[in-house]
Amino acid sequence: MKSRQPTALIITLLVLQGFASLSLSADSHAQATPDVYVGVDLSYGDVAEAKAMIDQVSPYTNLFIIGSKGITNNETKLNTVCQYVYEKGLSFIVYTDMPPQIERAWIEHAKTLWDARFLGLYVYDETGGKQLDLFENQDMQRYPVKEADNYTDARNRFIATLNASLNWVVWNFTDKDVQLFSSDYALYWFDYKAGYDTVFAQFGWNYSRQLNIALCRGAATTQNKDWGAIITWTYTESPYIESGPELYNDLVLAYDNGAKYIVVFDGNEGWTGGILEQPHLEALQQFWNYVQNNPRKSNPVSDRTAYVLPDAYGFGFRGPQDRIWGLWQADALALNVSISVKSLLNDYEEKLDIIYDDGLQLRNTYGYSQLIYWESYTLPPPKISILSPEDQTYNESSVPLTFSLDKQVTWVSYSLDGKQNISLSGNSTVVSMTNGSHNITLFANDTFGNISASETITFTVAAPEPEPEPFTVWPLAIAVAVVTVTAVIAGLLFYRGKRRREATRR
């Protein structure tokens, strides 16, 4: 450590000189901690582009993430942008990578100069997701565990490795507490265990938003941390991000589910330009108005249910075949857990969190209304509802048979009037029914052998009786003519036959 002192002294002097030129106006920007931070993560560009974006979004945001390496790699540029954000009345987070670009002296004076508006450091990115996708993107992996003996070993290595990296940032670059932020799309529980104070669940691609909320919020709640959401890419090429209306819906979803930080990512592939267009900025402004006029609808912990996963089970949840810790293919538990989570999300929706059996105490619900452990949860049978026929009278002998299911099933059948079941491949029509009262019941079987029956629907068929064929009465003259012609033909045939017989006797 002694060899670092001259360098540290020089850096400190330079930093002090740079900070001395900055304008202090903390009094005019003092405010209480907001209930929610709403902002933009600028991940491209230079000072001019950063100022332009800050000018545009500052009327309807209160947070700015300085994610552009072109700014954070240069102390003068970073000071300029931070001061500009501060003067606009916004709080800010500064991105740093490994090795950290942010020096210890800078952090100390940033906390002094900008006080509570400097929220902390955004350190690394998607560490859990990169671990999960180890084999798919080996060239991108810098921190994941490359090998492990079992799930527990993988968990321990992941937490220890990431924790050591985060501690290096804290211990070597600041003596004071500094909040550490990141975003991810998997393994949130283990990100928090490694030392992050806040993790943003990524809303992107075609991943379930509510599932990622349940995973991230559950980890944060149980470990007494904060959580947020960041709306990121939906596509791998332009326009990259979802439409304006879709963005607005995602912003509201995060807010109503209790996210403390709600951020929109602005950066294309290679971080050479922005991706936010006018419809996205309008959606952000519309959302800001929504926040000002609508108290949170989020449910307190006491109203939520937590689904408890096995300790160290680093499964990805992007489908039943997702990998575990990026090191192993899906095991026998993966399908059961995937279907269980889908079923629970269907039942509890925004009131479901997902946590881990990581030192949980017996009979302690940790503030939740209930804990549902993976090994004790029994999948409910499929729910099948008859949409047609209804309890009414039908004036036709053929009646549509339509129904709905709440999950995938292996087969569906129906029984009419208690008779033998008839298989269905989908909506159908029951044909040629007799007049009178009938009843029908549907049955369904899911992939785990759970069979369920719908309610029995009674209905009536009152189809008009078919009219008999009309009896034709021929007029008397026509009838006599027909008889006469018939008699003449018969006479001719008799005469011809008689002549033949006589000719034969000669």
Is 255 exposed, middle or buried, given 0-12, 13-18 or 19+ CB atoms closer than 10 A? buried
Runs of H (alpha helix) within 90-150: 104-114, 127-132
Task: Give the HSE-up count for residue 268: Cα atoms under 13 Å, Cβ half-sphere.
Answer: 10
Q: Tokens at residue 434, please?
A: 């007799």
Residues whose CB falls within 8 Å of the CB of residue 254, separated by 6 or more in sequence, listed in order: 203, 213, 228, 229, 262
- 374 to 9, 308, 341: CA distances (angstroms): 55, 6, 9
Can you tell me the mean pLDDT for 434-447?
93
Can you tell me the mean pLDDT for 212-219?
98
Strand-pair category, 118-123 with 179-184: parallel
Task: CATH 3.20.20.80 in the chain: give the residue spans.
Answer: 31-299
Can you tell me the mean pLDDT for 335-356?
94
Per-residue pLDDT tens over the stretch 153-180: 999 999 999 998 888 877 665 555 789 9
Per-residue pLDDT tens over the stretch 43-53: 999 999 999 99
| Superfamily holding 31-299 | Glycosidases (3.20.20.80)
Look over the chain and give the mean of its residue pLDDT values, rounded to a whole number.
86
Q: What is the pLDDT of residue 9?
A: 30
Please give the model's pTM, rounded to 2 decimal places: 0.78
Secondary structure element (H or E) that encloses residue 251, with its range = helix 244-256
The domain made up of 384-461 has a fold known as Immunoglobulin-like (2.60.40)
Q: Tokens at residue 237, please?
A: 């090429």
Instruction: State how far the Cα of 11 lies from the Cα of 193, in Å rounded to an integer.
Output: 33
- 31 to 62, 288, 455: CA distances (angstroms): 11, 18, 58
**Is pLDDT above 70 for 489?**
no
Main-chain phi, psi angles of 328, to 5 degrees? -130, 150
Q: Tokens at residue 10, please?
A: 């020089």
Can you tell me the mean pLDDT for 77-96?
96
Instruction: Please give the DSSP secondary-structure letter assigned to residue 414.
Output: E
Q: What is the pLDDT of residue 431?
A: 93
Task: CATH 2.60.40.10 in the chain: give the residue spans.
Answer: 384-461
Is 231 exposed, middle or buried, given 0-12, 13-18 or 19+ CB atoms closer than 10 A? buried
